[in-house]
Amino acid sequence: MQEQLKIALIQTDLVWENPKKNRKQLKEKIESISKTVDVIILPEMFSTGFTMNAKEVAETMDGKTVAWMKRRALKTNAAIVGSLIISEDETYYNRLLFVEPSGKIHTYDKRHTFTLAGEDKVFTAGSKKLIVEFKGWKICPLVCYDLRFPVWARNIEDYDVLLYVANWPKPRIFAWDSLLKARAIENMCYCIGINRVGLDEAQNEFCGHSATFDVLGNEIIAFKPNREQVGVVTLEKNHINYYRNKLKFLNDKDNFTLLP
């Protein structure tokens, strides 16, 4: 078990519906990371932007972008995390992949599809929460709109890190800032949010605000708005253990069952 987990966050603009160009620019950003890290996190739908044109840009689990993630993970000796559009059994998913350097892939299909943009009409919602055990850390990865639903993120698995990959637009960025902090406090965990910047094809503006909060809700890394940036944050297991043992807030949580 590692006492520290070093995570690289990539806040970037995305080229609309162009996986080849996005893979190229993200490769350059990954190669710019000078420190040794354990995990590299990319935004939601990092290969295409947040498009509903799934029929034209969807890939399979044997496609080029998944293969690219496996190569990057192997070369950097770090897990690569991000979501992309996957076609499987004649169904489309906004699927988060956690790809380990060994090539092992963990998947999570976005549970809360974004009805305001019609995502629910194109993509099938997932039904299973994912907890990844990596280097002695328990990580719960979720996607964008999931952030608004605390019951789904509720820490009943004793996870250490909650992370969100997103395309969260500027007009509602206050909610993003506030909810990331709330999820950290209520779950007594590190909470990480990776958001994109730039404009998409519909002129929706994304201003970033990628950040990491500790168990007490303190912001330990914050990115400048409206700017591409790569940052590295170090998470400490002792920080989690100390405050959970001292405060014991998770011991007092209510017990209930989440129905399908």
pLDDT band for position 72 (cuts 50, 70, 90): very high
Note the pLDDT of residue 69.
Answer: 98
Q: Verify whether residue 157 is a known catalytic residue.
A: no
What pLDDT, on the 0 to 100 scale, is given for residue 257?
83
**CA pair distance 80, 107, nearest whole angstrom:** 12
Catalytic, 75? Answer no
Instruction: Evaluate if residue 259 carries a pLDDT over 90.
Output: no
Summarised one tens digit per residue, pLDDT across range 213-256 is 999 999 999 899 999 999 999 999 999 999 999 999 999 999 88
pLDDT of residue 256: 83
Kindly name the residue from 110, 129, 170, 181 that is annotated as catalytic. Answer: 110
| Residue pLDDT, tens place only, 154-167 | 999 999 999 999 99
CB count in 10 Å sphere of residue 170:
18
Give the Å distances, CA to CA, from 48 to 17, 51, 145, 201, 204: 4, 7, 18, 11, 14
Q: For 128-174, write each residue's pLDDT tens digit.
A: 999 999 999 999 999 999 999 999 999 999 999 999 999 999 999 99
Given the residues 70, 100, 144, 181, the one annotated as active site:
144
What confidence tier does 1 reach under pLDDT thresholds 50, 70, 90? Answer: confident
Tokens for 117, please give them: 């943009």
Q: How deeply is 90 buried, as exposed, middle or buried, from its count of CB atoms within 10 A (0-12, 13-18, 19+)?
A: exposed
Residue 170 designated active-site = no
